[in-house]
Structure 1
Amino acid sequence: MTNMSQIRRRAMRPDSFVASTFLALALISLFGASAPAVAESKPNVVLILADDLGWSDTSLFGTTKFYRTPNIERLAERGMTFTRAYSASPLCSPTRASILTGLNPARTGITTPNCHLPQVTMQAKSTASGAPSQKSTIPSSVSRLDTSYYTLAEMFKDNGYVTGHFGKWHLGPEPYSPLEHGFDVDLPHHAGPGPAGSYVAPWKFRDFDHDPDVPDQHIEDRMAEEAVAFLEKHKSEPFFLNYWMFSVHAPFDAKQSLIEQYRNQVDPSDPQRSPTYAAMIESMDDAVGTLLDKLDEMGVANNTIIVFASDNGGNMYNEVDGTTATSNAPLRGGKATMYEGGVRGPAIVAFPGHVQAGSRSNQIIQSCDFYPSLLNLLRIEPQPAQHFDGISFVPALKGQPLDREAIFTYFPHSPGVPDWLPPSVSVHRGDWKLIRIFHGGENGQHRWKLFNVGDDLGEQQNLASRYPERVQSMDAMIEAFLVDTQAVLPLPNPNFDPAKYDPQAEGKGRLKGSSKPAAKKPVASMKPVAGWIPAGTCELEIENGSMLINSTGGDPYLSYKLPESVSTEPLILRFSLTSNSSGHGQVFWQEQDVAPAFFRDRSVRFDVRHDQESHDYVVEFSPANPVVAVRIDPSRGPGKMWLSKIKLTDANGMLLHQWDF
């Protein structure tokens, strides 16, 4: 993808460092070597990004009695807390790319967190058709952060900073790792979407082991230790520490002692009642405290800019301790949704002497603002041709209003979670928020949801019909944004079948047909084939090295009990499928010590191409407990399907189980 926002990192290095060096030499020549310094030392920068930390997951806003975050409060006392801080996406990789480039996901093309998967896609593409239950198609996402972008880390490096990345990356393995994007150090050098295996050792990182003297070491404790060692090593030079926490993303586990402490404090009537999640938040907060302690000890806290934020909203939908992980109340929705709970989170900026301690701002900021804001704070000019979708929010840090017309969130996907929406784009303008649902209306037209989040924080009243002129003007802004970013858009779906779409489920529950299976024959009465048990509306047989699935329509599926449980996270099921059926597919999994109940709601949906050609599919899922069985729902309609080359791997491609027919 070529546009003005892509700055070739070697062809267009900034001149500021060279210019400042030349100026210093000139001053020495003019005034003598003993001349006083003309400028104070460069400020250090620490950027802390939490993973899946919701707006109500800290004690900053008075929305929780259960979680304890004293160190995040301590950081807030040193700087400014933003009450309206938005991620660029309701999912992680798009937001991470926006932080490093200052660009919106609509422009980078990274719109979903697929950057750990083997397939390398460098150009987003439209999709011609979709499942019959979808009114619009879903574009394919870019799967790697292109090294042609001049990243935040490269900017720091070229201006005399030592750069270190610690924790989660999720923007691609080599040759797209942090080491290729401007970082001198990268630990644990892991391309996966979460911690390898677990938070508490033993871990399963390829080249990063826990401290043998601490057998149950927490990954966040270790990352904080590595980060402060980096700070100590480089205390005599300006540093950029990029600490992207694994916390508090799934899998859900924590120090057992902390879990037990919180277990005794659970209020069953409180929507935030998972002791495991509360323990995870405490370990995250401890890591923030470790960094603050080291900066104080080194005596550099007053010359250090600290930015703290989250990559998207809190995860309300995965189950842990028999309940949802957390609640974003009073916001609506959570991670993977376009409502406030999916994109609004805590954010703090501290810079002693420049930002008023203990202050708050209700100005709207977004993750693509961090790059231009840091340039402004450091008085570094951007590249001559460098473009940002974000703006500098330095005026807000000085207590002034921002000269900002709007922010945009582009999410052309439709994860099957509660509070789901079809592929959408939104604009925030002051208290007004408009969501455009692509082709969600009649005859392929768009549909809109309009909210005043100042009066209706929970987004319960759709005001689109009451204010049609406002809808029109804000949708015109959306259209201009999509044109400017050259966004690859969803298209009207020629396969749409109104009978398979449930408008009443939108924004409330899962997509129609994705959670409750249709009536099925008892599993015990079905004949297994190669260990796979058919059920629902299908029968199995082996044909030419493939599993032939004969479906009479409705809900065909087949399941397999693994010979031993698999405890890594995430897992990836890979297979080839040829189909002349119809409808979407799903992969379900059963977790250890969890009743099957048709595998409950542990599922991931995938689109199937029913063109009688063989296609390869890669389906990722993130279990909370060891997996003991998997299930494949290859379609929704009648017909024949041939399944082959089935493999279960971890995120690094390591083979865990393989099926041969």
Structure 2
Amino acid sequence: MRLLLFIALSLCLNGQEKANVILILADDLGVSDTSLGGSKLYQTPNLERLAKRGVYFTNAYAASPLCSPTRSSILTGQNPARTGFTAPHGHLENVVLTARAGKAAAPSKRQVSPVSVNRLSTEYLSLGKVFKNAGYKTAHFGKWHLGKSPYSPLEHGFDIDIPHWPGPGPAGSFVAPWRYPNFKENYPGEHIDDRLGDEIAKYISENKDQPFFINFWQFSVHAPFNAKQELIDKYRKLIDKNNPQHNPVYAAMVESMDDSIGKVIDALETNKLMEKTIIVFFSDNGGNIHSVVDGTTATSNKPFRGGKASIYEGGTHVPAIVVWPNQTKTGVRNDSLIQSEDLYASILEMAALPVDYQQAKDSISFVPVLKGQGAKRKQVFTYFPHSPNVPDCVPPSAALRIGDWKLIKVFHDNPDLTDRFELYNLANDQGEMLNLASQNPEKVKSMNEVIDQYLSKSACIKPIKNPKYNSKFIQSSGKLKARGHGIFSKDKAGLYIRKYADNQDMSFTLPTPALKAGKYTLQMDIRSLSAKGDILVKGFSPGTKVTDFTKINLVDDGLWHQSTHPFTVIKTPSKVMKFILDFPQGQLHLRSLKILDENKDQVINLKF
């Protein structure tokens, strides 16, 4: 009897009866941010429930390290290089439907980034339209970030859109009071994840007798960083400072995200729809390692390098689960390469709906993988022609993974404005710390040819050389004077320093009060966000002898360290302190700099 039921259900899902489809997209959830990904802090039992019913992909990639571009790739089946949607600008007021070359950049920058599309054109046959045309009930819940009306979910095939919000994150807060114009909390302190889970459960119950497509794009775990106080208190007791993931607020946010998924699963089970529903879980980019919450970073993507807005693995390597009842092995892990644009063709094929490959040129169905027939995708291409100031950001670049090899092409980034390359073997170096480009010129050449061929084929708008670039330009902010290939930025939390490239000098100077000859101690509050190596510090006055060097070793753990370093001023007064960044590349954060005299009774605070 059970066998007959299994065969009957399989036939239904193969086309005689339409399967329901739920696409769940987390926001900023890194591959290491779940218990499935190895987290020792974050608790995601409902994702584990899904994984037990389906396939967990260990080599899933977002098309971009930022949200809007990845979202556009999912709905169209096109890489952001082709759509021109390369930046997270879907909330901006001006409308840009066609990418174009940029015009200007600061003289410290070697490239000018293109202007990104910021609306998903309604000319696309987006996923919602395909399902609606096939007779499905369609609903979008949560974040959109691809443009407000007339480019909202309602114009892309969805019958309803809750809460109908175009912003990059939740309106005001995760915990009520909210600021959605037409969507109010049911009770004080209601969490938006809980509410959306309840709304979806209600929708499932009301539409259980007809096929539906639910696009559940979660607000979690994007900024702003707030959560239920009881969950924050729960995780404060579980924090281990030796664990790179040690933020109780973020941990609480992850649990609320997972709870909302649990509400969806429960609703399917209650309405006896679990065996008739395809579920896909994905994330739009890697975890946020640049925002500071309660004095520490939001999360860590280790063992991977970088995070949100970085082209390194931590920015694009994401968690992915596919549940296709009675069509796949369950509770298994698969290491096949898949990318976010593949969701378009794969979801439609699982639902037995036609795929318009004239549009979905970059979408490669992974249905054969689910059926145990092997992977069709042999490479992963990432195009990110922008450079936000975040840990391990890279100047405008493209990346290609083929097998275990990954090549990053950084446009116009050598001193002579030729392209710079980074090559990594991910099998031996998943942290992308050992650049093998100089040792493998033929590998660089062959992979770069593949990148160039795709850039040409997709007709993408590429970064251009900055005509105003000045190699001798000195970045100045307050008393700080900086020189070299990188970015310096200041905020209330201190000074952020990002060095871009190996073997390229970078330094900054700060004026000090006149220091007489004698012994002193330099005291620094410093943390490395990706930098491995040393800082060399010396004091000098123009035309005088230099004091001895002080070497500061960087501990790359994302934690604050107070370093004390004795140094000596000789002969004439020292009036300037120079910091030479003697590490290959990466980012660090300075919170305070103090000089103490020999008796440590005089403290001089150096201002940034």
TM-score range, shorter chain: 0.7 to 0.9
CA deviation profile, 1:485-515 (whole Å, cap 9, x unmatched): 1100101111111234634779x94269999
The Cα shift of 1:383 comes to 3.3
- Of 248, 251, 259, the residue aligned with 1:286 is 259
The Cα shift of 1:388 comes to 2.3
Rounded to whole Å, the distance in 1 between the matches of 2:327 and 2:274 is: 13
The Cα shift of 1:160 comes to 1.1
Rounded to whole Å, the distance in 2 between the matches of 1:232 and 1:272 is: 38
Secondary structure of the 1:399 match is coil
Aligned residue runs from structure 1 range 243-642, under 5 A: 243-383=216-356, 385-500=358-473, 502-503=484-485, 509-510=497-498
Q: 1:360 to 1:509 in 2, by over 3 A?
A: farther
CA contact (8 A) 2:76 2:360 kept: no
CA deviation profile, 1:526-555 (whole Å, cap 9, x unmatched): xxxxxxxxxxxxxxxxxxxxxxxxxxxxxx
Give the letter aligned to residue 498 of structure 2. R
1:197 — aligned with what?
172
CA contact (8 A) 2:139 2:160 kept: yes
TM-score (norm 2): 0.77
Give the letter aligned to residue 44 of structure 2. T
Secondary structure of the 1:407 match is strand
The Cα shift of 1:405 comes to 3.3
2:102 — aligned with what?
127
CA contact (8 A) 2:345 2:360 kept: no
Give the letter aligned to residue 142 of structure 2. G
Rounded to whole Å, the distance in 1 between the matches of 2:512 and 2:87 is: 34
How many residues get paired? 485
Rounded to whole Å, the distance in 2 between the matches of 1:427 and 1:271 is: 28
Rounded to whole Å, the distance in 1 between the matches of 2:251 and 2:289 is: 13
Secondary structure of the 1:307 match is strand
The Cα shift of 1:140 comes to 0.7
Rounded to whole Å, the distance in 2 between the matches of 1:257 and 1:517 is: 46
- Of 50, 62, 70, the residue aligned with 1:87 is 62
1:648 — aligned with what?
none
CA contact (8 A) 1:416 1:514 kept: no
- Of 68, 72, 75, the residue aligned with 1:97 is 72
CA deviation profile, 1:376-403 (whole Å, cap 9, x unmatched): 2223222374332120011111233212
The Cα shift of 1:519 comes to 5.7
2:28 — aligned with what?
52
Is 1:165 the counterpart of 2:140 in the alignment? yes
The Cα shift of 1:404 comes to 2.5
The Cα shift of 1:264 comes to 1.2
Give the letter aligned to residue 166 of structure 2. A
Give the letter aligned to residue 274 of structure 1. N
Rounded to whole Å, the distance in 2 between the matches of 1:71 and 1:136 is: 44
CA contact (8 A) 1:361 1:399 kept: no
Structure 1: unaligned runs, 5 residues or longer: 1-35, 522-595, 599-661
1:209 — aligned with what?
184
Rounded to whole Å, the distance in 1 between the matches of 2:431 and 2:202 is: 43
Aligned residue runs from structure 1 range 59-74, under 5 A: 59-62=35-38, 64-74=39-49
CA deviation profile, 1:17-64 (whole Å, cap 9, x unmatched): xxxxxxxxxxxxxxxxxxx999531111000000000111000032x2
Give the letter aligned to residue 391 of structure 2. P
- Of 78, 103, 117, the residue aligned with 1:142 is 117
Q: 1:357 to 1:597 in 2, by over 3 A?
A: closer
Task: Judging by fraction of residues, say which structure has more strand.
Answer: 2
Aligned residue runs from structure 1 range 165-244, under 5 A: 165-211=140-186, 214-244=187-217
Give the letter aligned to residue 398 of structure 1. K
CA contact (8 A) 1:153 1:183 kept: yes
Give the letter aligned to residue 502 of structure 1. G
CA deviation profile, 1:285-323 (whole Å, cap 9, x unmatched): 001111011111111111111000100000011001210
Stretch of structure 1 that moved more, 437-446 or 85-94: 437-446
Q: 1:519 to 1:452 in 2, by over 3 A?
A: same
2:540 — aligned with what?
none
Rounded to whole Å, the distance in 2 between the matches of 1:373 and 1:90 is: 21
Give the letter aligned to residue 455 of structure 1. N
Give the letter aligned to residue 53 of structure 1. L
Rounded to whole Å, the distance in 2 between the matches of 1:187 and 1:515 is: 50
Rounded to whole Å, the distance in 1 between the matches of 2:294 and 2:13 is: 59
Rounded to whole Å, the distance in 2 between the matches of 1:449 and 1:81 is: 29
Give the letter aligned to residue 273 of structure 2. V
Rounded to whole Å, the distance in 1 between the matches of 2:509 and 2:221 is: 31
CA contact (8 A) 2:77 2:359 kept: no
- Of 33, 36, 53, the residue aligned with 1:78 is 53
Give the letter aligned to residue 155 of structure 2. E
CA deviation profile, 1:57-113 (whole Å, cap 9, x unmatched): 000032x21110011011100000000100010000000000000100011111111
Give me the identity figure in percent: 51
Secondary structure of the 2:102 match is coil
Is 1:109 the counterpart of 2:79 in the alignment? no
CA contact (8 A) 1:420 1:511 kept: no
Q: 1:476 to 1:210 in 2, by over 3 A?
A: same
2:16 — aligned with what?
40
